[in-house]
Structure 1
């Protein structure tokens, strides 16, 4: 059996037998001793604890009588396999013999932040088992280049490669991955950067966390698109309460006097989150001019910037930046795999240096073996091939979903998009997107209600988002047809 250390206090009020029983019971209820697992022999445990063997035997017998333990002739004592244990642990803080060891800790009073109180996007755990997963931000496993990734993983485990990445590298990132991001990924977005202007992160969210931790104070005013990316809002809210909702239109963030007084502005110009609209070239120039005139920094989240179906992708905002006012956030989550947790940040060298030292205090650096594997994957051209394939597949799904929405939900309004992997839909007046999502899930349809994306009080409730990155093309039209039935029934009832 696994070694579990028990110890007794001979000077306490409780008897040694009571103390031992309590510790054994705690080990069973906490699943440290699993059903069917043997207990230590009475002789061995008595020797370990420095007590009479009879003390151990009497304890074991009491647990047998209560059904927690069974005795097997010539084999010893075992945890009862018939026990039905949940995964909840008994209350912590009890001393030996079941007596409280002191007043309970008031953890609630010690919190300086309450992340659990924030409203977060919730995705069904079993969404992959649903026939119509219009879920956003997840990949279709059939398109993951498994054999190519396996080959890169094998090469990353070669002796020479292991010697390179197995050391502590918090002061640098994998040079191959940096080179590939600089020469392949960023150049496709029109961004030119040096090696010392790139920091590898654990995804885009980690980049936003690092930036806000280093640059924001309680006095900072942060402008965010309204509606906008929920996790960016939640991350920034942990640093300052001065979050300013900035309206959008069919061309993305509106550039007007509402930007005055902002210290930082978070923006998603390639495909606005969640509406998917693309900011045109002229407005990007106007936003940069406003940032310079009003002295604020732009944080550009360029998620899905490479996924366009109509025309070529618009160059990133960062590519037009001549004064270093744009911090550029990129990620491989949407195109490769969200579970990979690899992203990057492009910023001036002095800022990257400080962020690198901040990152060191959090987790030192993203796993170096994963960095090397991703670098090989990009260098071999597998990422380019994946992007081309996703563009073709997503365009087909985009067209099928657009046609299905037009056919089955003509009374809804869709934001005009030219790329991305979702539709932002405004339903009929009186529709409650959250109620619709619950009803849809009962029918195996996964959608995202839109109210959560709004920051303003009393936001509209009739929006919802439909993703198509992880649903097979042939299921889109049937799923939209079923969803339309629910929308019409819900609207009629309202």
Structure 2
């Protein structure tokens, strides 16, 4: 169990301002962690600790974007990322996603930055194929664009071997790798990080200094110690078993009682599953989600993650905050919602 430890963080500049890039021990711990857990080869100097992944996106936008610049994002995709780039005056353009991930051939030629979730596309759940990863990096090189790789929950992988991250394949220093501890620990911790190319180190650190000075020194030091003592890795191993049971229960129900209504999008990782409606009717998805929520079952429609109307109808079901034995109960209520909306 993670908690700040007595004396943590008191050994560095107790009366002054801290490094805007984060506590040195945590930057070093993050560099070691992403190396063995995610195959991201980096050093502590390239790590900038942030107040969650959202601040990492904000800092990247501050450094790389000017008003009117084009940013390409996945459609459907992560709404807070779109909002972060739009807040800096960027023109955000959605790019379709298929079974191999972002469709590179549909990227706007003027894109200055491309934001992707290749390990576990949010919200569909597909992994970007190896070929598509190489295509994206080649496109970025040809168009002088940066790529933000948001690897928000790849620690929890339940099938297949992980694919190499874009950062590991990047030979041109174009990828900014973003991670968070919100999924592995808790959202209220508000700690994330960005692994930036050497060419952006100074600019991103300066942007962090202007944004809020620095992060919580004692909390960052405590997390560094938590990681160095192997407690984060142990926590992930333990919670992965818990989430695997929940995931199995969810997939079994979707393939059973709910099979007449939905088809699950194949996914090997993460803490949510996307299910497409066989009817393709978005009005039905809206009505079912509303009935389910009224019955105490939290589901979101796939449309909630789109900036533009259209696309297949679907539901997004998370299992990070529900016990395994409660999953069948929730799915039974969801099936009842389908029957009520589409009787017979």
TM bracket (short chain) = over 0.9
Q: Pick which of 433-442 and 241-250 moved more.
A: 433-442
1:433–1:461 Cα contact (<8 Å) kept: no
CA distance in 1, matches of 2:264, 2:224: 38
Aligned counterpart in structure 2 of residue 445 of structure 1, from 293, 297, 317: 297
Partner of 1:412: 262
Asked which structure has the greater RCO (Cα within 8 Å, sep 6+), the reply is 2
Partner of 1:164: 12
2:76–2:123 Cα contact (<8 Å) kept: yes
Name the SS of the counterpart of 1:416 in structure 2: coil
CA distance in 2, matches of 1:181, 1:205: 17
Task: Note the C-alpha offset of 1:435.
Answer: 3.4
Partner of 1:475: 326
Task: Note the C-alpha offset of 1:257.
Answer: 4.8
Aligned counterpart in structure 1 of residue 6 of structure 2, from 124, 133, 154: 154
Aligned counterpart in structure 1 of residue 92 of structure 2, from 236, 243, 263: 243
2:97–2:103 Cα contact (<8 Å) kept: yes
* Inter-CA distance 163–176: structure 2 relative to 1 (3 Å threshold): closer
Task: Note the C-alpha offset of 1:259.
Answer: 4.2
Question: In the alignment, is residue 336 of structure 1 matched against residue 188 of structure 2?
Answer: no
Partner of 2:206: 357
CA distance in 1, matches of 2:250, 2:21: 44
Question: In the alignment, is residue 193 of structure 1 matched against residue 45 of structure 2?
Answer: no
TM norm structure 1:
0.66
CA distance in 2, matches of 1:211, 1:243: 15
Instruction: Quote the RMSD (CA, aligned, Å).
Output: 1.8
1:220–1:240 Cα contact (<8 Å) kept: yes
Question: In the alignment, is residue 294 of structure 1 matched against residue 137 of structure 2?
Answer: no
Aligned counterpart in structure 1 of residue 275 of structure 2, from 425, 429, 432: 425
The within-5 A match list for 1:224-239 is: 224-239=73-88
User: Whose Rg is larger?
Assistant: 1
Residue by residue over 1:112-138, the C-alpha shift from the partner in whole angstroms, topping out at 9 and shown as x without a partner, is xxxxxxxxxxxxxxxxxxxxxxxxxxx
Partner of 1:402: 251
CA distance in 2, matches of 1:405, 1:209: 37
Partner of 1:464: 315
Task: Note the C-alpha offset of 1:387.
Answer: 1.5
Residue by residue over 1:148-188, the C-alpha shift from the partner in whole angstroms, topping out at 9 and shown as x without a partner, is x23x52241xxxx4142533113552121111111123332
Task: Note the C-alpha offset of 1:305.
Answer: 1.7
* Inter-CA distance 231–432: structure 2 relative to 1 (3 Å threshold): farther
Residue by residue over 1:20-79, the C-alpha shift from the partner in whole angstroms, topping out at 9 and shown as x without a partner, is xxxxxxxxxxxxxxxxxxxxxxxxxxxxxxxxxxxxxxxxxxxxxxxxxxxxxxxxxxxx
* Inter-CA distance 172–232: structure 2 relative to 1 (3 Å threshold): closer
CA distance in 2, matches of 1:257, 1:247: 7
CA distance in 2, matches of 1:307, 1:283: 22
Q: How many residues align?
A: 340
CA distance in 2, matches of 1:165, 1:280: 46
Residue by residue over 1:338-372, the C-alpha shift from the partner in whole angstroms, topping out at 9 and shown as x without a partner, is 11000011112341221212211221011111100
Question: In the alignment, is residue 391 of structure 1 matched against residue 240 of structure 2?
Answer: yes
